[in-house]
Amino acid sequence: MHRAFVSALLLIAPAAWAGDFATCILDKAPGVANDTAAQAVYQLCLSENPGGFQAVAQGSGRGLMGYKSGAECTAKKAGDTRSEEAARYVGIACRRLYDESEINRFLDGKP
């Protein structure tokens, strides 16, 4: 019973445990008003999570309670962000976390 509960929790919110560069960006960049602050957010997240976006596994945020796609995440998280640079970082983070990996798409027969 305990094992089933833990397994269910892992499926529900994988991004909560990811603690990676992309989740740092999604925590700090939405709502940023200028590019200077966006660059500071990027540098802060990179100092806390070396490797940047390359270290984030594609699709690692997908789960039962996460966003269905990177586009959905971007629309929600970047909508009120005035800095173009911060919005771009949010979009990259969202696509990295919530879009399927290319290999999974290939295996599922999707273009």
pLDDT of residue 9: 44
Above 90 in pLDDT, residue 39? yes
Average pLDDT, the chain: 84
Cα-to-chain-centroid distance, residue 109: 25
Q: Is the CB of residue 55 less than 8 Å from the CB of residue 97?
A: no
DSSP string covering 23-41: HHHHHHSTT--SHHHHHHH
Higher pLDDT, 105 or 86: 86
